[in-house]
Amino acid sequence: MDKFFEELLKFASSGTAIIIYVVILLAILAAIVVTMLVRDGKSSPDTIHVDVADIHASGSGEADGQTDGEQPSRPVKSAGAQPATAEKPAATAVRASGGVSRFDGLSRIDRERAKYVREGYDEHITLRTLCERFRNFSAGKLRLYYSISDIRRFISGLLVSHIMILQGMSGTGKTSLAYAFGEFLDNPSTVVPVQPMWKERTDLIGYYNEFTKRFNETDLLKKMYEAGYSKDIYITVLDEMNIARVEYYFAEFLSLLELPDPDERELTVVSDKWDTDPVQLRGGHILLPENMWFIGTANNDDSTFAISDKVYDRAMIMDLDSKAEIFAAEESEKLHITAKRFCELGEEAQREYEITRRNLKRLEKMDEFMKANFRITFGNRIMKQIKAYVPVYIACGGDELEALDDILSKKVMRKLGMQNPVYIRNQADRFCQYMDELFGEDRMKQCKAVVQRLKLNA
């Protein structure tokens, strides 16, 4: 037996065996090439017709002066009809997908777009009534209790910025407040649980899978697309937003929301364009909807990241540090209001309840004091937010100095935390006394509380 294997090994390494190996390998390669040529011949006629989604037939057809049903299938030249180098990538992608959209969810929204159009809105409501109705609805229907001042801060913040941060101790109702507002508007909020490893835009909206030739759509992307067909207010909750670095994964959203022209707020979804892409996806971009607000909940503990000034300066901040007392709520139903009308209420308030000259003068003096003693200034963005926030808060039923106290404590006093702790401790009492002299005894309670807390922690 050993002799047999020895002879077999000798033959396997001989020149004759090597020739046999080469012949077998060439035969296998020839078979593979022939199979590929036959398959190409069957699947590549001179012209391939791609069936575009029904929504393209109506949307694109109307734009070209055609009526529904008149748009024919689009002819896409195959590789056999023109040089391979001249073929457009989009045509190749469409053929590879078999004429099916790579956005399953967005295409379905296109087909069902009629159900996102609501008829009948309550456009005559005032901000004061809106706050009262929301508070009663939240307590009566959802058993979620908030003070009227917290509700005023919440609504006023939304009317100043499309980004709001709710921060405070765990269990005080941060996520519940944003959830309750969606229920009140009869358009449930989209809760996005932020993950610790998030670093970029794709973590929020999804990504294109090269293997499946499909785009992995997130709930947020589908809600953003849906909002383009609706007049309703859309609320997106970034739950535990600072468990990852907000300025990383939310960077593009922050930049786009700074643009004054809403039509320029185009978010990149994909880098190319397919003929079968959804109607509202233009050149691979989706328009950031004007009727969507982003509300982030933030905890301050060892498991989270500090939120940067870039984020804080652009967002409105609200602290929820304690639970409100239970109260007997009046009957209140859901409210249907367009996002446009909601914003108009804020604009009307800014015209009707401008900050008094006396308080503007006080702000100037306080700015000068802080520049001289702490090298901190309000800045143009903060002053703009103050001038927008205070009138809206008054229209919601609040007091002017109460509004100033609230926004200054969140926007200006917070910056004291970046100063030398020993210096802040030594200057704290003097600064609190100055605020009493400038605004009145104990009129700036929240601002003084921030300063005293920094003094104790120094």
Query: Are residues 358 and 307 part of one domain?
Result: no
252 pLDDT exceeds 90?
yes
CA angle 164, 110, 232 (to 5 degrees): 35
Query: Are residues 159 and 30 part of one domain?
Result: no
Q: What is the DSSP letter of 162?
A: S
Mean pLDDT for the chain? 85
Phi, psi of 341, deg, nearest 5: -65, -40
Q: Is 10 within the bounds of a domain?
A: no
Query: Are residues 83 and 175 part of one domain?
Result: no
Separation of alpha carbons 273 and 284, rounded Å = 5
Q: Which two tokens stand for residue 25?
A: 């390998």
Please spell the DSSP secondary structure of 433-453, one letter per residue.
HHHHHHH-TTS-HHHHHHHHH
Q: Which amino acid is at 12?
A: A
> Which pLDDT band holds residue 74 (cuts at 50, 70, 90)?
very low
Query: Are residues 288 and 222 part of one domain?
Result: yes
Query: Are residues 212 and 66 part of one domain?
Result: no
CB count in 10 Å sphere of residue 226: 23
Which residues face 294 on adjacent strands? 163, 236
pLDDT in tens, 292-314: 999 999 988 778 899 999 999 99
Q: Is 327 within the bounds of a domain?
A: no
CA nearest to 386, candidates 451, 293, 313, 319: 313
Query: Are residues 160 and 58 part of one domain?
Result: no
CA nearest to 138, candidates 318, 336, 323, 332: 332
Separation of alpha carbons 404 and 447, rounded Å = 9
> Which pLDDT band holds residue 10 (cuts at 50, 70, 90)?
low
Domain of residue 164: give its range. 127-319
Query: Are residues 233 and 159 part of one domain?
Result: yes
Q: Is 107 within the bounds of a domain?
A: no
Separation of alpha carbons 232 and 181, rounded Å = 12
When pLDDT is averaged across residues 202-213 and rounded to a whole number, the result is 94
pLDDT in tens, 361-413: 999 999 999 999 999 988 899 999 999 999 999 999 999 999 999 999 999 99
> Could you say which of 100, 118, 141 is where a domain stops?
100
Q: Is 46 within the bounds of a domain?
A: yes
Query: Are residues 264 and 206 part of one domain?
Result: yes
Residue 457 confidence (pLDDT): 87
Separation of alpha carbons 290 and 224, rounded Å = 10
238 pLDDT exceeds 80?
yes
Query: Are residues 160 and 96 part of one domain?
Result: no
Query: Are residues 400 and 277 part of one domain?
Result: no
pLDDT in tens, 423-454: 999 999 999 999 999 999 989 999 999 999 99
Residue 35 confidence (pLDDT): 65
Which residues face 282 on adjacent strands? 285
Q: Which amino acid is at 199?
A: K
Query: Are residues 161 and 86 part of one domain?
Result: no
Separation of alpha carbons 187 and 177, rounded Å = 14
Cβ-based burial of 89 (10 A; exposed 0-12, middle 13-18, buried ≥19) = exposed
Look up the pTM and report it: 0.79
Torsion angle of alpha carbons 62, 64, 70, 74, nearest 10°?
-120
Give the number of domains in the chain: 3
Q: Is 173 within the bounds of a domain?
A: yes
> Could you say which of 319, 343, 378 is where a domain stops?
319
Separation of alpha carbons 143 and 160, rounded Å = 28
Separation of alpha carbons 360 and 33, rounded Å = 81
Q: What is the 3-state secondary structure (H, E, C) of 2-21?
A: HHHHHHHHHHHCCHHHHHHH
Residue 86 confidence (pLDDT): 42
Comparing 30-44, 162-176, 357-371, the range with the smallest average pLDDT is 30-44
150 pLDDT exceeds 70?
yes
Gyration radius of the chain's alpha carbons? 31
Q: Is 117 within the bounds of a domain?
A: no
Separation of alpha carbons 136 and 120, rounded Å = 22
Widest Cα–Cα separation across the chain = 111
Which residues face 238 on adjacent strands? 192, 296
Query: Are residues 133 and 92 part of one domain?
Result: no
> Could you say which of 319, 342, 373 is where a domain stops?
319
Separation of alpha carbons 389 and 411, rounded Å = 12
